[in-house]
């Protein structure tokens, strides 16, 4: 996961080199493949030892997205995190290794969403949008 300074950011926002995500399946690390803009790596981590249990190499132009998270074993990517409305238009099932057809509208009311995660206990998406904690209940 080592990167040259200012290079190989995970998303278009150039704020981070990796994301951590938690769902009912465990702890995940999402990060860019070094010097490869067309590959995204997702590793399932042992939550106690922080060792890698398994890694997925996913073909996607991750720098075209602004943020991402994992919920129910699915990797979701959000197109733009600085516009007032955007779309979750990428979903990849980590267990079946299938790309899913998704097009979900997503609001960024404060125009700077820097963190997003899924809370599986409460069945809500949490986001940090310019100093505001927002929740998005899921309709199941």
Instruction: Give the mean pLDDT of 92-105.
Output: 95
Instruction: Tokens for 119, please give them.
Output: 């809370």
108 SS3 class: coil
Q: Give me the pLDDT at residue 7, please.
A: 62
Look at residues 46, 42, 33, 39 and name the one whose alpha carbon lies nearest to residue 73: 42
Query: 29, 42 in Cβ contact below 8 A?
Result: yes
pLDDT in the model for residue 91: 97
pLDDT digits (tens, 9 = 90+) for 16-39: 788 999 998 999 999 988 777 788
Q: What is the pLDDT of residues 58-96, one digit of tens each?
A: 999 888 888 999 999 999 999 988 899 989 999 999 999
Average pLDDT, the chain: 88
Task: Give the integer Cα–Cα distance in Å for 120 and 6.
Answer: 33
pLDDT at 2: 45
């Amino acid at each position: 996961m080592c990167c040259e300074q200012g290079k190989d950011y995970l998303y278009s926002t150039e704020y981070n080199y990796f994301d951590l995500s938690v769902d009912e399946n465990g702890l995940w690390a999402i990060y860019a493949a070094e010097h490869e803009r067309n590959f995204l790596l997702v590793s399932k981590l042992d939550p106690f030892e922080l060792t890698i249990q398994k890694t997925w190499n996913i073909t996607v132009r991750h720098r075209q997205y602004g943020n991402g998270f994992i919920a129910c074993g699915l990797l979701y990517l959000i197109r733009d995190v600085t516009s007032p409305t955007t779309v979750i238009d990428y979903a990849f099932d980590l267990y079946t290794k299938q790309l899913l057809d998704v097009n979900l509208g997503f609001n960024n009311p404060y125009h700077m969403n820097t963190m997003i995660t899924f809370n599986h206990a409460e069945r809500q998406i949490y986001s940090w949008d310019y100093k505001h904690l927002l929740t998005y209940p899921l309709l199941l």
